[in-house]
Amino acid sequence: MLPLSPSLLPSLAAALLYAAAILYQGLRLGQGAKADKRLLCLLGTLAVIAQATALFWQLLTPLGLSLDFFSAASLIAAAVIGLTLLACARIPVENLLLLLFPLGLLTTLIAQFAPTGTVPVINESPGILAHILLSILAYGMFTIAVVQSLLLLLQDHQLKHKHPSGLIRNFPPLQTMESLLFGFLWAGWVLLSLSLISGWLFLDNLFAQHLVHKTLLACLAWFVFSVLLWGRNRLGWRGHKAIRWTLAGFCLLMLAYFGSKLVREFILHI
């Protein structure tokens, strides 16, 4: 009998906790009532801790850090949910968890049970590890911004057609939702800028063959977000225009990381 993976139990615990949080929040919103923030955040925090424990066993090997495609997705999801839970203590963003908890549930199960591709072990200097951490935090912050923009789009649509659902009635005012969106975008832009700077400082060649597409797409995403924030500050961009630019920048950023990682691990096997 093969020994059980040490990440199996925490992965299953995380999945169950996420499922409980999804069920609780969904039932409360279906009744037109708000979920208790403390209970929701407690379930979410326990789920993130369990997911992080599973990731500890999945990522750390005797040879170094093994960051495969699905574990990277789980790590970013855990970072996104953790950042959102921290934000819940100060600002009304608990409705974001309605879309983020299913992401956490899905990624933790896939990271545990999906086969891995060809994964080079990362055994690098603290500078490279800092670059990886900044990149993950930037992706996480932009993921929160995208979820916020989708909820903002839904809220705007329902208010214009004058039939807000129970979910929308529990949202903060439209102006507050938009301000939160740009707060997340500014934080993501700063983290992405630091990630690119740290890559330039600590990587030998950002435009090496296996990095050039990732670097160019990340720089293009940085430019798109820069234009969006400039447009907001100078031209007062908001609403659908801001959401379109947010989604465009996010797609470029996801292609930069997940697109290249998927091709390298599962198609080229390098």
Over residues 198-250, the pLDDT tens digits come to: 888 877 666 555 567 788 888 999 999 999 999 999 988 888 889 999 999 99
Last residue of a domain, one of 102, 122, 142: 122
Q: CA-CA distance, 237 to 60, in Å (whole number)?
A: 44
| Co-location of 130 and 251 in the same domain | yes
pTM: 0.80
| Co-location of 129 and 118 in the same domain | no
CB 117 within 8 A of CB 69: yes
| Co-location of 82 and 142 in the same domain | no
- List the structure tokens of 2: 């093969």
Check residue 17 and give its pLDDT: 97
The domain in which residue 170 lies consists of: 124-270
End-to-end CA distance of the chain: 32
Each residue's pLDDT tens digit, 189-209: 999 999 999 888 877 666 555
| Co-location of 133 and 265 in the same domain | yes
CB 149 within 8 A of CB 181: yes
| Co-location of 162 and 141 in the same domain | yes
Last residue of a domain, one of 92, 122, 152: 122
Give me the number of domains the chain comprises: 2
| Co-location of 192 and 268 in the same domain | yes
Last residue of a domain, one of 122, 149, 164: 122
Each residue's pLDDT tens digit, 35-92: 889 999 999 999 999 999 999 998 887 766 777 778 888 998 999 899 899 988 888 8
Check residue 237 and give its pLDDT: 87
Hey, which residues does 137 pair with through a beta bridge? none
